[in-house]
Structure 1
Amino acid sequence: MAGVFWYDGTWTTEEPKIVGPMDHAFWLGSVIFDGGRAIKGWAPDLDRHCARAVASAKAMLMKPTKTAAEIEALCREGIRRMGPEAELYIRPMFFIRKGLGAARPDPDSTDFILSVYDNPMPNWAGFSAVMAPFRRPTPEMAPTDAKAACLYPNGARASAFAAAQGADNAVMCDAMGHVAEFASANLWFAKDGRVVTPAANFTFLNGITRQRIITLFKDAGVTVEERTVKPAELEAADEIFSTGNYAKVQPCTRYNGRDMQIGRFATQAREMYWRWMEAAPKVV
């Protein structure tokens, strides 16, 4: 996988070896990241991804060593180094090196690294999903206001459960048993011409792509219901789709064993997003 990496003032095409067994991040998981995209020269909402990286670091008791503007400038340089036709994943990360006794991190040991690497956009072919038994935590249980690495093993358990059932992704509920999101993306469905997405209730990230799609739908005159969703509603849905940074918009074509068509709202969301993205200036 081709990529460029920035660490400690230097760009390299080799992955820097930056952590050891005594680093707090390696030992106790004090790591945050964000994920942006560059698609043939466009970098949609890159500024918001960089700002969220800083906010996540603060939520995880870190002292960010870069501002959002500084991170964005580095991201843009990385995109230029990879070329105008590349489809890239852009991953700024903050992590802690030292601890202050027990499990408490030392904010003054916060470090930063940026990875910009080839990651082609997935095909518009759809994915399958099943309901998983694992739940998203509440804010009292975990740092749900951060894009923190420590949250992802729980989603990985759900993904592994789905794979064992022959599915590509998993739907996860919150602690109250209401639908939260997919294991790796925000969830949407449509029923009788109504577009619905679970309300952002602090058990999952209110995704940047999710927010963008809500705005685009509203600008197009489509009402989006952000509300509590019961699992049974997905069983009766006319269509289900996901939004997220990695794939932007993807249709769910099979849910809990029921085949589904790629629906008009998923198609509209994807088309609106691409039009909005391509109307912006390119980075390279």
Structure 2
Amino acid sequence: MKEVGKIWMNGKLVPFKNAKVHVLTHALHYSTAVFEGIRCYNTPNGSAIFRLPEHVDRFFNSAKLYGMKIRYTKKQIIDAIIKTVKASGLKECYIRPIAYYGYGTMGLTPTLNKVDVSIACLEMIGEPKAGKFSGAKCKISKWIRIDSKSQPMQSKSAANYSNAALARVEALKSGYDEAIMLNSSGKVAEGSAENIFIIKNGIIKTPPLNADILNGITRDSIIRLIKSNGIKLIEKNLTVKELLKADEVFMTGTAAEVKSVAKINKTTIGNGKIGNITKTLQKSFMDVTMGKEQKFAFWLRYI
């Protein structure tokens, strides 16, 4: 990982290499952390952060679901994110805010420890070809998505992503690009770090939020773009059969943006190429992020 600019830690910008935590930090031992992934795009009108208020809202909601008290206001975090991006010197980057129980009392109960907050900017490395220029190959994971009755899946928490990492590693070791996870009811949930959509006979379907999925901000953006393009969309529980028989399948996420799926297990989706509707949505989304779509210009925060 390339060292870029400075990292914001509890109100101060510190050199990248000095942004350290103690080995007994509570979050390291018990996954008591919540985080966000945010993109800053290099648009023709300058650097712009995509849907910054919505990401910060979700950041605070994730903390609330875990009973974590962030000792900064939303405005302070927004200002800190902008300050950190400017300090990075990058025109476009991936932004990672994280709130976590820090060093203090050891043991399972975290509430005696302060909630620390850090914000880092990472350089975006070249786009993966799988999903953007050719369809990704996905494996239906043997690992089941955590049930929301076990822990809040609407929270973007570190604890949830240990489950996702198991699925991702399993898929990669089996020669695939990504995993698709089912929920405890055997219905389609999401990818390891992306929401999922299918297209059949021109109708787009996606699992509802109660399918134990994260309320993805890119997911919400795509749903709004779909509706603005006059395409029919249905939120419903999806079976594996519906997934495999789809004409097109795509995934969405902050890092993935809009990623086409060409193969699931041994089944080729459609003709194995990026479908026309997926291509349209890929272009529509990139037009929005580049400030070319006036209708959604309010999603960009120029800095």
Question: Aligned equivalents of 1:261 and 1:46: distance in 2?
Answer: 33
Q: Identify which of 90, 99, 104 aligns with 1:94.
A: 99
Question: Aligned equivalents of 2:228 and 2:16: distance in 1?
Answer: 44
Q: CA deviation at 1:166?
A: 0.6
**Secondary structure of the structure 1 residue equivalent to 2:137:** strand
Question: Aligned equivalents of 1:183 and 1:9: distance in 2?
Answer: 32
**Which structure 2 residues correspond to residues 89-238 of structure 1 after superposition, within 5 A?**
89-97=94-102, 103-106=108-111, 109-120=114-125, 122=127, 123=129, 124-125=132-133, 126-201=135-210, 203-238=212-247
**Secondary structure of the structure 2 residue equivalent to 1:201:** helix
CA-to-partner distance for each residue in 1:96-148, whole Å, 9 max, x for gaps?
12677852211661111100110236242232101111111222212312100
Range with bigger deviation, 148-157 or 90-99: 90-99
Specify the alignment match of 2:16 in structure 1: 14
1:48 is the counterpart of 2:59: no
Specify the alignment match of 1:70 in structure 2: 76
Task: Give the letter aligned to residue 28 of structure 1.
Answer: Y
Quickly say closer, same or farther: Cα 1:188–1:18, change in 2 above 3 A: same
Question: Aligned equivalents of 1:136 and 1:230: distance in 2?
Answer: 15
Question: Aligned equivalents of 1:197 and 1:92: distance in 2?
Answer: 28
Alpha-carbon contact 1:51-1:68 (below 8 Å) kept = yes
Q: CA deviation at 1:22?
A: 2.7
1:272 is the counterpart of 2:284: yes
Question: Aligned equivalents of 2:301 and 2:162: distance in 1?
Answer: 35
Range with bigger deviation, 75-84 or 164-173: 75-84
1:33 is the counterpart of 2:35: yes
Question: Aligned equivalents of 1:57 and 1:107: distance in 2?
Answer: 16
Question: Aligned equivalents of 2:105 and 2:88: distance in 1?
Answer: 39
Alpha-carbon contact 1:57-1:146 (below 8 Å) kept = yes
Range with bigger deviation, 63-72 or 215-224: 63-72
Question: Aligned equivalents of 1:157 and 1:11: distance in 2?
Answer: 34
CA-to-partner distance for each residue in 1:244-263, whole Å, 9 max, x for gaps?
01121111122213342101
Quickly say closer, same or farther: Cα 1:100–1:139, change in 2 above 3 A: farther
Task: Give the letter aligned to residue 32 of structure 1.
Answer: V
Quickly say closer, same or farther: Cα 1:97–1:47, change in 2 above 3 A: same
**Secondary structure of the structure 2 residue equivalent to 1:163:** helix
Question: Aligned equivalents of 1:141 and 1:202: distance in 2?
Answer: 13
Range with bigger deviation, 258-267 or 6-15: 6-15
**Secondary structure of the structure 2 residue equivalent to 1:71:** helix
Question: Aligned equivalents of 1:101 and 1:80: distance in 2?
Answer: 36
Alpha-carbon contact 2:3-2:17 (below 8 Å) kept = no
Question: Aligned equivalents of 2:203 and 2:104: distance in 1?
Answer: 49
TM-score (structure 2 length as normaliser):
0.87
% of aligned pairs identical? Answer: 27
Alpha-carbon contact 1:145-1:202 (below 8 Å) kept = no
TM-score (structure 1 length as normaliser):
0.92
Question: Aligned equivalents of 1:151 and 1:138: distance in 2?
Answer: 10
Alpha-carbon contact 1:63-1:107 (below 8 Å) kept = no
**Secondary structure of the structure 1 residue equivalent to 2:224:** helix
Q: Which sections of structure 2, spanning at least 5 residues, go unmatched?
A: 292-296
1:248 is the counterpart of 2:257: yes
Q: Which sections of structure 1, spanning at least 5 residues, go unmatched?
A: none
Alpha-carbon contact 1:130-1:256 (below 8 Å) kept = yes
1:82 is the counterpart of 2:88: yes
